[in-house]
Structure formats: structure tokens, C-alpha cells
């Protein structure tokens, strides 16, 4: 399981948006609630549309990651914490690493919202 995003509610409770691989799909949970599942194609479409290629020289060694071999051999999701010179607080980015393709990255808050929305929509259909 990989935590994509964590936020603190008004009552002080922490809520995590997590993803894990189950039955050939990515299952999205928010807190204790399973929101639904989405396919690998949906994840790649989201990251290719909204994400940008990871900058040269950015290392993913030691970053939390989730192997996606069951969906695509050699693929994995990573969480990269980065603090640019002008940032006061570090930001988390979701990085999709695929074999023989450049990695795509986008803010974790945006990716968590998008995958949660799609998982909810497809589970209600």
C-alpha cells in the first residue's frame, strides 16, 4: 500500500488516500473506506495528461514506492518529497515509472483527487 496524500480534517483527524494493487487493478482507499478501483490505463492517462516529465537528475532511490508489476512489468509508483528553493514546505509528487519511458510526475494532492474521483465514479456505475 502506498499513501498518495494525507490531510488533517477540522476535527484534527488524519485522513490518508492510499493505493494498492488488488485483482489486477489499483484500489483506492480514503481513510478506512474503499472508494473503488481503476485500471492501469486510467492512472497512466491521468499522469500523462496532468503530469510532466520528471526533471533530469531527480533520484527516486529511497522514495516510498509501490510495485505495479501485476499491471505492467517494471512499472512502479513513487512518492517524491521535494522542496524547491522558493518553497517553505516540501511538496509531495506522485511519479509513475515505466520501463523504457520517461517518468511522469505531478503533485500528489492533484493525483489523489483525480484517482479518488474516478474510482468513486466507476464504482457507482
What pLDDT, on a 0 to 100 scale, did the predictor assign at position 10? 84
Mean pLDDT, rounded, for 3-24: 91
Mean pLDDT, rounded, for 4-9: 90
Nearest residue to 4 (alpha-carbon basis) of 63, 85, 84, 89: 63
Contact 84, 107 (CB under 8 A): no
> Residues 6 or more apart from 40 whose CB is under 8 A from it?
25, 26, 68, 71, 72, 75
pTM (2 d.p.): 0.88
Contact 40, 23 (CB under 8 A): no
Angle 40-50/108-124 helices, nearest 10 degrees? 140
Mean pLDDT, rounded, for 15-44: 93
Amino acid at each position: 500500500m502506498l499513501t498518495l496524500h494525507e490531510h488533517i480534517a477540522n476535527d484534527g483527524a488524519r485522513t490518508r488516500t492510499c493505493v494498492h494493487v488488488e485483482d489486477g487493478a489499483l484500489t483506492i482507499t480514503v481513510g478506512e473506506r474503499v472508494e473503488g478501483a481503476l485500471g492501469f490505463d486510467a492512472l497512466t492517462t491521468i499522469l500523462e495528461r496532468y503530469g510532466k516529465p520528471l526533471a533530469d537528475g531527480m533520484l527516486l532511490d529511497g522514495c516510498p514506492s509501490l510495485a505495479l508489476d501485476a499491471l505492467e512489468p517494471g512499472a512502479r509508483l513513487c512518492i517524491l518529497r521535494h522542496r524547491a528553493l522558493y518553497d517553505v514546505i516540501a511538496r509531495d509528487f506522485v511519479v509513475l515509472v515505466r520501463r523504457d519511458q520517461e517518468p511522469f510526475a505531478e503533485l500528489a494532492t492533484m493525483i489523489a483527487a483525480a484517482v479518488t474521483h474516478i474510482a468513486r465514479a466507476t464504482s457507482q456505475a
